[in-house]
């Protein structure tokens, strides 16, 4: 039998000790991570919302959070962080660990329009955000007062061409989804439309009713009562199909304009969140969206519940980024 020297034995002992320590470290760290994923969730989940309390997206966040908490057996706490075009909320969410305990709500403005308009955006939606599921799709409409000579979208375009200074349209602000939709409509129809930005729809609707602007682009929800009373007309809706709430209102495509005007609202986590948690969250959120109680709560709202897989939602975001970058470029909108 070969004899081992004391020096060799000592070296072998050190190697064995090092190997044991390495295996012990690896064995402790990997199963611990796996255990964390397997036990998720075992504490409160935050849902950061870049809208003020009471806004429609906030309502949807709280509804989904309530039902998600029931399914996950853990509290889901909504934190409103409005302002800064959503940057405040998203930055806060991205500063949290990628462990599935911080969800955040975002819409097309945050994921597609911000990247198209801002050079200094502190996040990259394709790199930093991990989609969970789209929640809703809200389609915008072209709306005029009842005394407008335009009875159809074609009439409105023709009216804009006849007037030397064109006609004005109101939206909820520069760089809003309403604004982007209006510029896209102008480009496709070659209408002579002049944009008038307001601070939210709370100002835009009165501006339309008072005659400050000739038409507006936005959700039909805030004008629904005026529409029913005959004070406004909805000329067209930017959706694939007609709305059940407004079956007589044609889509933009039916009106000869090949476009939709829609804002998607969805849930995200920070990129790097374990795939198992992402898939579990997506599954549970989609089950929440299919809940009859949820469907009943949102009945009568001018948006559609539209759950997706994480990959489907990622594809939607990627497509919207390309679409709005093209609109900004063609419309000559200044990039900040």
pLDDT score of 78: 97
Could you tell me the residue ranges of all domains in the chain? 45-135+264-331, 141-237
pLDDT score of 35: 66
Residue 9: pLDDT over 90: no
Q: How confident is the model at residue 37 (pLDDT cuts 50, 70, 90)?
A: confident
Residue 24: pLDDT over 80: no
Query: What average pLDDT does the chain have?
Result: 89
Give per-residue pLDDT as tens, 200-244. Answer: 888 999 999 999 999 999 989 889 999 999 999 999 999 989 998
- Given a contact cutoff of 8 angstroms between Cβ atoms, the answer to whether 243 and 139 are in contact is yes
Give per-residue pLDDT as tens, 153-190. Answer: 999 999 999 999 999 999 988 888 999 999 999 999 99
Cα four-point dihedral sign 191, 197, 201, 202: negative
pLDDT score of 58: 93
Tokens 């601070």 locate to 199
pLDDT score of 221: 87
Question: Which residues have a Cβ under 8 Å from the Cβ of 70 and sit 6 or more positions away?
Answer: none
pLDDT score of 173: 87
Give per-residue pLDDT as tens, 290-316. Answer: 999 999 998 888 888 999 999 999 999
Over the range 246-279, which residues count as b (16 or more CB within 10 Å of their CB) and which as e?
beebbbbbebebebbbbbbbbbbbbbebbeebbe
Q: How confident is the model at residue 330 (pLDDT cuts 50, 70, 90)?
A: very high
* Percentage of residues in the chain having pLDDT higher than 90: 75
User: What's the maximum distance between 2 C-alpha atoms anywhere in the chain?
Assistant: 108
3-state secondary structure string across the chain? CCCCCHHHHHHHHHHHHHHHHHHHHHHHHHHHHHHHHHHCCCCCEEEEECCCCCCHHHHHHHHHHHHHHHHHCCCEEEEECCCHHHHHHHHHHHCCCCCCCEEEEEEHHHHHHHHHHCCCCCCCHHHHEEEEEEEEEEECEEEEECCCCCCCHHHHHHHHHHCCCCEEEEECCCCCHHHHHHHHHHHHHCCCEEEEECCCHHHHHHHHHHCCCCEEEECCHHHHHHHHCCCEEEEEECCCCCCCCCCCCCECCCCCCCCCCEEEEEEEEECCCCHHHHHHHHHHHHHHHCCHHHHHHCCCCCCEECCCCHHHHHHHHHHHHHHHHHHHHHHCCCCC
pLDDT score of 96: 96
pLDDT score of 83: 86
The CA R_g of the chain, rounded to the nearest whole Å, is 26
CATH superfamily for domain 45-135+264-331: Bordetella uptake gene, domain 1 (3.40.190.150)
Give per-residue pLDDT as tens, 81-125. Answer: 988 889 999 999 999 999 999 999 999 999 999 999 998 999 999
pLDDT score of 146: 96
Q: How confident is the model at residue 246 (pLDDT cuts 50, 70, 90)?
A: very high
* Percentage of residues in the chain having pLDDT higher than 70: 90
Mean pLDDT calculated for residue range 138-150: 96
Residue 249: pLDDT over 80: yes
Residue 69: pLDDT over 90: yes
What topology does CATH give the domain 141-237? D-Maltodextrin-Binding Protein; domain 2 (3.40.190)
User: In angstroms, rounded to a whole number, what is the distance separating the alpha carbons of residues 234 and 178?
Assistant: 15
- Given a contact cutoff of 8 angstroms between Cβ atoms, the answer to whether 231 and 145 are in contact is yes
């Amino acid at each position: 039998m070969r004899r081992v020297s004391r020096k060799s034995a000592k070296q072998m002992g050190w190697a064995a000790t090092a190997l044991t320590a390495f295996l012990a470290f690896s064995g402790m760290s990997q199963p611990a991570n796996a255990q964390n994923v397997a036990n998720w969730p075992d504490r409160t989940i935050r849902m950061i919302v870049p809208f003020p309390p009471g806004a429609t997206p906030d309502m949807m966040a709280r509804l989904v959070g309530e039902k998600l908490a029931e399914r996950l057996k853990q509290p889901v706490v909504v934190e409103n962080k409005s302002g800064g075009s959503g940057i405040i909320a998203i930055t806060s969410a991205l500063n949290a660990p990628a462990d599935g305990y911080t969800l955040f709500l975002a819409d097309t403005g945050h994921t597609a329009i911000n990247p198209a308009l801002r050079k200094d955006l502190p996040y990259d939606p394709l790199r930093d955000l991990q989609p969970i599921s789209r929640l809703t799709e809200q389609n915008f409409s072209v709306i005029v007062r009842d005394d407008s000579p335009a009875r159809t979208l074609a009439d409105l375009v023709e009216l804009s061409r006849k007037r030397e200074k064109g006609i004005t349209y109101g939206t909820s602000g520069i760089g809003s989804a309403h604004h982007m939709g209006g510029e896209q409509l102008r480009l496709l129809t070659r209408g002579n439309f002049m944009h008038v930005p307001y601070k939210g729809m709370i100002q835009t609707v009165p501006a339309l009713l008072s005659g400050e602007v000739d038409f507006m682009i936005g959700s039909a929800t805030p004008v629904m009562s005026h529409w029913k009373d005959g004070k406004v007309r909805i000329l067209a809706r930017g959706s694939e199909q007609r709305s059940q709430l407004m079956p007589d209102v044609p889509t933009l495509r039916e009106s000869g304009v090949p476009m939709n005007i829609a804002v998607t609202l969805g849930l995200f986590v920070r990129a790097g969140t374990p795939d198992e948690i992402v898939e579990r969250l997506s599954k549970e959120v989609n089950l929440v969206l299919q809940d009859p109680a949820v469907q009943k709560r949102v009945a009568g709202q001018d948006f559609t519940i539209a759950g997706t897989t994480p990959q489907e939602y990622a594809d939607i975001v990627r497509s919207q980024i390309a679409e709005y970058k093209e609109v900004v470029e063609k419309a000559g909108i200044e990039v900040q």
